[in-house]
Structure 1
Amino acid sequence: MHAWPASEVPALPGKGRDLRIHDTATGGRVTLAPGPVARIYVCGITPYDATHMGHAATYNAFDLVQRVWLDTKRQVHYVQNVTDVDDPLLERALRDGIDWVGLAERETALFREDMTALRMLPPQHYIGAVEAIPGIVPLVERLRDSGAAYELDGDIYFSVEADPHFGQVSNYDTELMRHLSAERGGDPDRPGKKNPLDPMLWMAAREGEPSWDGGSLGPGRPGWHIECVAIALDHLGMGFDVQGGGSDLIFPHHEMGASHAQTLTGEFPMAKAYVHAGMVALHGEKMSKSKGNLVFVSKLRRDGVDPAAIRLALLSHRYRDDWEWTDQVLETAVERLGRWRAAVSRPDGPSADALVEELREALSDDLDTPTALAAVDRWAELQTAGGGTDESAPGLVSRAVDALLGVAL
């Protein structure tokens, strides 16, 4: 599966700072100091609907992580999956009377278009669950053969008790885990399971649903968590720098994925930092496909909204915070974009050297984008007041905003 084209990231004078970021597993900030190549895995979409603001906010956060690393003169090895077969996708295709493969291809293509428009840097490896199945089956077989997984009516379940570190990503109590498991695709009440929290690794073929050759597992399709584990281990290995996604993935997805990988390899942890973006609400409720309270990137683009303004709207909120999308959020972003573009269109202006360092410091401090935007606002105000004669300043500001914030002026 191919990703989307990369926008050029301008080089800036000097060198950026190492990223200090909140780690869900420890509950505090960690300083990430990768080697020459930083490794990041971000969980991708289940393509049964278009890209909404919740998606965009999540991928914007991890685009910033990449930009901070690139500014430190590192390379970035970024991997993302597409869950192109899963119950929600099959249910939507059945509801709409369309082929599930065609639905997945259509929505994945639209996602690529949205990511390109928003100048999100693409992954080096963009892998669909279906194409990952040949690598998933041996992992499930290994877990089963080692006693870390078991069969129940043809389905294969992972035993969470096989991982001594289970629970150390979310740090949730059992009651909350069980509630979230039921809410987010698990089946804690299924009779016969060794532990209600045990997640499915391989679903035996169901009548009327797609299935693949599972070798000794029999025909079926993979569970949600093992999909990401197989892709991450194949392309990044254990101990990669950041496992990323929305905060709704903390449990069960990232918790279970970590346990799968740690049990398979005997190594801990799967990732050096578990980083999660907050949820975006509309009319007081989290945006979700099930509720249908969505603001789509593609719809805004069709309505003539500049993608740079959409990105500024996302940047106006700290990535870890839950926040609400409103017309005012977008209007403020459109006005800000206009001010910034007017400021950099002049032939000279106040020196921008200090601004570049302010942006670097703000972003290295747990991706503090509101502080970064405020710094550019101040420079634009000085520019409007005629506060400088540095001919290189407007160009440097434009390059810095592009390189570090992903906003093309």
Structure 2
Amino acid sequence: MHAWPASEIPALPGQGRDLRIHDTATGALVTLDPGPVARIYVCGITPYDATHMGHAATYNAFDLVQRVWLDTQRQVHYVQNVTDIDDPLLERAQRDGLDWSALAEKETALFREDMTALRMLPPRHYIGAVEAIPGIVPLVERLRDAGAAYELEGDVYFSVESDPNFGKVSGLDATAMRLLSAERGGDPDRPGKKNPLDPMLWMAAREGEPSWDGASLGRGRPGWHIECVAIALDHLGMGFDVQGGGSDLVFPHHEMGASHAQALTGEFPMAKAYVHAGMVALDGEKMSKSKGNLVFVSKLRHDGVDPAAIRLALLAHHYRADWEWTDQVLQDAVDRLGRWRAAVSRPDGPPAEALVEEMRQALAADLDSPAALAAIDRWAALQDERGGTDEGAPGVVSRAVDALLGVAL
């Protein structure tokens, strides 16, 4: 599976700062020092309703992570998956009378278009669950053969008790985990499971549903969590720098994935930091596919909204915050974009070196994009009030906004 084209990142004077970011597992800010190559895995879409504003907010957050790292002169090894086989996708295809694979292909293509328009940096490896199946099957067999998994009526489940570090990503108690498991694709009430929280690794073939050769597992398809584990271990290995996604993935997805990987390798942790973006609401409720209260990037683009304004609307909120999409949020972003473009269109302006450092400082401090935007607002206001004499300043500001925030002025 191919990703989308990368936009060019302008070179800036000086060098960025190391990223200090909130780690869900410890509940604290951690300073990441990845070495010359930073490794990040971000969970991708299930392609049946793409790309809504919640998606966009999540991928914007991890695009900022990459840009901060690149500004420190590091390389970034970024991996993202596509869950192109799963129950929600099959249910939507059946509801709409579509072939599931055609639906997945169509929505993935639309997602690529939206990511390109929003100037999100593409992953080095963009891997679908279906193409990862040959690598998933041996991992499930290894877990089963090691006693960390068991069969139940042809399905294979992971035993959470096989990982002594299970629970350290979310920090939740068993009651909270069970409730979330039931809400988010688990089956805690299925009879015969060793532990209600045990997640499925391999689902035996069901009549009328797609299935693949699972070698000694029999025909079937992979569970949700093992998909990401197989892709991450294959392309990044254990102990990579950031595992990212929306806050709704903390449990069960990231908790279970960490335990799968730790049971497979005997190493801990799977990732040095677990980083999660907040949820975006509409009309008082979290945007979700099940509720259908979605604002789509493609619809906004079709209506003539500049993608740079969409991105500024996202950047106006701290990545970890839960916030609500409104017409005013978008209008504020459109107005801000206009002010910035007017400010950098002049031949000279106030000095920009201090602004670039202020942007770097804000983004290195847990991706504080609102603080970075406020700094640019102040420079633009000063430019509007009295201008300046530095001929290179508007160009420096324009390049910094592009390189660090992904917004083309």
1:341 & 1:46 partners in 2: Cα distance?
A: 36
Structure 1 equivalent of residue 401 of structure 2: 401
Which amino acid is 1:97 matched to?
G
**1:385 aligned counterpart, secondary structure:** helix
Structure 2 equivalent of residue 197 of structure 1: 197
Superposed CA deviations along residues 259-302 of structure 1, whole A, max 9, x for unmatched, are: 00000000000000000000000000000000000000000000
Which amino acid is 2:314 matched to?
L
Paired residues, what number?
409
2:338 & 2:233 partners in 1: Cα distance?
A: 44
2:98 & 2:278 partners in 1: Cα distance?
A: 33
1:364 and 2:364 are equivalent in the alignment: yes
1:293 & 1:224 partners in 2: Cα distance?
A: 24
How far 1:63 moved relative to its partner? 0.0
Structure 2 equivalent of residue 67 of structure 1: 67
2:384 & 2:242 partners in 1: Cα distance?
A: 40
**2:89 aligned counterpart, secondary structure:** helix
Structure 2 equivalent of residue 161 of structure 1: 161
How far 1:324 moved relative to its partner? 0.3
Contact 2:348 2:387 in 1 (8 A): no
Superposed CA deviations along residues 62-118 of structure 1, whole A, max 9, x for unmatched, are: 000000000000000000000000000000000000100100000000000000000
Structure 2 equivalent of residue 225 of structure 1: 225
How far 1:375 moved relative to its partner? 0.1
Structure 1 equivalent of residue 207 of structure 2: 207
Superposed CA deviations along residues 149-200 of structure 1, whole A, max 9, x for unmatched, are: 0000000000000000000000001111000000000000000000000000
Superposed CA deviations along residues 321-373 of structure 1, whole A, max 9, x for unmatched, are: 00000000000000000000000000000000000000000000000011000
How far 1:11 moved relative to its partner? 1.0
**2:70 aligned counterpart, secondary structure:** helix
Structure 2 equivalent of residue 312 of structure 1: 312
Structure 2 equivalent of residue 234 of structure 1: 234
Q: How does 1:15-34 map to 2 (within 5 A)?
A: 15-34=15-34
How far 1:249 moved relative to its partner? 0.1
Structure 1 equivalent of residue 115 of structure 2: 115
How far 1:50 moved relative to its partner? 2.0
Structure 2 equivalent of residue 255 of structure 1: 255
Superposed CA deviations along residues 185-242 of structure 1, whole A, max 9, x for unmatched, are: 0000000000000000000000000000000000000000000000000000000000
Which amino acid is 1:145 matched to?
D
Identity %: 87
2:49 & 2:325 partners in 1: Cα distance?
A: 19
How far 1:122 moved relative to its partner? 0.2
Structure 1 equivalent of residue 289 of structure 2: 289
How far 1:387 moved relative to its partner? 3.4
Superposed CA deviations along residues 45-76 of structure 1, whole A, max 9, x for unmatched, are: 00011200000000000000000000000000
TM-score normalised per structure 1? 1.00
Structure 1 equivalent of residue 382 of structure 2: 382
Which amino acid is 2:162 matched to?
A
**1:244 aligned counterpart, secondary structure:** strand
**2:243 aligned counterpart, secondary structure:** strand
**2:20 aligned counterpart, secondary structure:** strand
**1:80 aligned counterpart, secondary structure:** strand
1:50 & 1:18 partners in 2: Cα distance?
A: 33
1:386 & 1:229 partners in 2: Cα distance?
A: 55
TM-score normalised per structure 2? 1.00
1:273 and 2:276 are equivalent in the alignment: no
Q: How does 1:112-151 map to 2 (within 5 A)?
A: 112-151=112-151
How far 1:386 moved relative to its partner? 2.2
**2:386 aligned counterpart, secondary structure:** coil
Find runs of 4+ consecutive structure 1 residues off by over 6 angstroms: none
How far 1:385 moved relative to its partner? 1.2
1:322 and 2:322 are equivalent in the alignment: yes
How far 1:120 moved relative to its partner? 0.1
1:45 and 2:45 are equivalent in the alignment: yes
Contact 2:349 2:390 in 1 (8 A): yes
Structure 2 equivalent of residue 354 of structure 1: 354
2:240 & 2:313 partners in 1: Cα distance?
A: 30
Which amino acid is 1:385 matched to?
E
Structure 2 equivalent of residue 187 of structure 1: 187
Which amino acid is 2:177 matched to?
M
